[in-house]
């Protein structure tokens, strides 16, 4: 499941959740607080997940194994 579609599916889910939160928030004097809380929380969670997902999907630094036996060290170079 590590592909670009999971980012798009997550994005569409958050857009749908935001739309539902906008219209389904309880009416009253705290309606704006409810809307802001639900929508900002959802987008913050999505951004954190997306950044973590992309950081593992395309790492900036490639891992290197150290402390290998000499006969295996040449075979394990990237």
**pLDDT tens per residue across span 11-67:** 999 999 999 999 999 899 999 999 999 999 999 999 999 999 888 887 777 767 676
Whole-number pLDDT of residue 72: 62
Domain ranges of the chain: 1-78
| C-alpha to C-alpha distances, 66 to 3, 48, 58, nearest whole angstrom | 29, 31, 21
- Tokens matching residue 57: 């999907």
Q: How high is the pLDDT of residue 27?
A: 93
Q: What are all long-range contacts of 44-51, with beta carbons under 8 Å and residues at least 24 apart?
A: 46/10, 46/11, 46/14, 49/10, 50/7, 50/10
For the cut 70, the answer to whether the pLDDT of residue 70 exceeds it is no
Long-range contacts of 50-58 (CB under 8 A, 24+ apart): 50/7, 50/10, 53/6, 53/7, 54/7, 57/2
């Amino acid at each position: 499941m590590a592909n670009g579609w999971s980012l798009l599916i997550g994005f569409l889910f958050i857009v749908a959740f935001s739309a539902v939160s906008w219209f389904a928030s309880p009416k009253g004097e705290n309606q704006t607080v409810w809307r802001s809380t639900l929508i900002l929380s959802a987008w913050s969670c999505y951004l954190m997940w997306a950044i973590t997902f992309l950081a593992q999907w395309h790492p900036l630094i490639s891992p290197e194994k150290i402390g290998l036996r000499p006969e295996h060290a040449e075979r394990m170079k990237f």
